[in-house]
Structure 1
Amino acid sequence: MPNEFNQQIIEEFRANGGKVGGPFEGARLLLLTTVGARSGARHTTPLGYLPDGGGRVLVIASAGGAPNHPAWFHNLVANPLVTVEDGLFTYEARAAVLEGAERDRVFARAVEADPGWADYQARTARVIPVVALQGVDGGPPKASSAGETLKLVHDVFRRELALIRKEVTESGAGLGAQLRVNCLTLCQGLHNHHTGEDIAMFPFLAGHRPELAPVLERLGREHERIAVLIEELREVLSAEGADPPLVLAEVERLTDELERHLTYEEEQLLPVLGT
């Protein structure tokens, strides 16, 4: 029988491009669909996740510290090919249960970021599994137009930057390993997005809408400025004993520049791309 609370989250997530309210407002959330180990039926579960870079995300089978693994974990052990929804894309992924030192290192990273994971582990005798989800087959954006896709992508970056600012502010004296990964994953995502625009979308628009030349030139210059800010943030993150106030200052510089850029791009291109 479907869990009514989970079903409400799933419906809200799908209706709002990955945004939900209530206890999970502002959290990193995905929808994981597994195939039942016994039934063969598809089951969808909302889960918090941790960025891991390289197109890989991590989920933790805590079940709130319950004595048994959650059903979704048993399902993906039996059938490792799963479906992931992140609010923008729906894609196939291969699930791999982390073992030994790798599991312990990643779980420690999660605990450093959120001590609640340690509380869950303390409640149960089982070793709480950590699962890596690696995309193997991408799907189209969940949008009806290029403009809607662009706005959804922008909003993902806005949410992630807001979350990272909050995490850095609350990080205390040291910058945890998971927070570094979060920042670096964001940096790579921005780089990939702007590179894609530079080599594909902007040349296409320039060829079909020559009147947009001044807009595209400005957006290209802004990409260059943002690339410098991304590299400066990476340098601060790579320093031994990275100082949270310095990291926060770089994140805020990037946020301010990026928000101006995203707002201008939306004002100029959404009417052309459709919404």
Structure 2
Amino acid sequence: MKHRTASSTASCIDLPGKGDWVHRDASARRVERFEAFFGGHAYDMHRHDTYAIGHTLSGVQSFSYRRGMTHSTPGGTIVLHPDEAHDGHAGTDAGFRYRILYIEPSLIQRALGGKPLPFIAGGRSEDPRLYAATETLLQSMGCALAPLEEDDAIFDLAQALAAAAGVRRGRQAVDYRAAEIARTFMLDNREITVTLGDLEQASGRDRWSLSRDFRTLYGTSPHRYLVMRRLDMVRRLAAAGETLANAAVWAGFTDQSHMTRHFTRAFGQSPGRWMRALRSPSG
């Protein structure tokens, strides 16, 4: 099995390749679930503030992650930590097919009770507990998730992540309640300008301690968290048929170009390419 070299995927155009497709499950409420196929280049280097957890279904799924290269094949579990940069491309000429879910760290936090986020080294785990815990959330896109089924699966996933990651030493005391108040404040005010002073006033926690706690508990900074929630709104509006220009303004961005810069950095694709792949027929 011959892997592609990094140079073979260095140049790309901002269009889905021939035969590439993405299928999104609209039934999930708390997570985002996708199944996709890419024949070559999939994503430029990017980072998002959610966990990305997936199964490679066929082929070799290759990605740069934490100064290394990972080649995922069927049987293991991909676990990309929030705010860690990564890309994606096919490891062989046969392409790769995979299912992936994006889950907010806040959901993991609710199950773990304010512990630091679990971290899986290398971006891939062979732990059978983690694979088993992800099977419900990563089942076929044609199998709609019942609400209670989804909630139970999220709890099981959080416990399996913690078990697979092991104990992290040197934990500092964090104020989970204050960080959660700040997170909720941003969700309620995502369409307006929010300052760290606003979060300090809302939470009762001094701004720098709050900023440190937020990173420990949710894997990203308050500003990045707010930008990503705005991008989530853009994707929902655009998928429902709204123009990207209107979606950008309604989500709190200055204009479409402002949104596009953040979107491309977050997802490794422009909004236009993401929309075209989403509308492509799946195989």
Task: Give the structure-2-normalised TM-score.
Answer: 0.20
Give the structure with the higher percent helix.
1
Q: Which has the higher contact order (CA 8 A, sep 6+)?
A: 2
Bigger Rg, structure 1 or 2:
1
The answer to which structure has the higher strand fraction is 2
TM-score, length-normalised on structure 1? 0.20
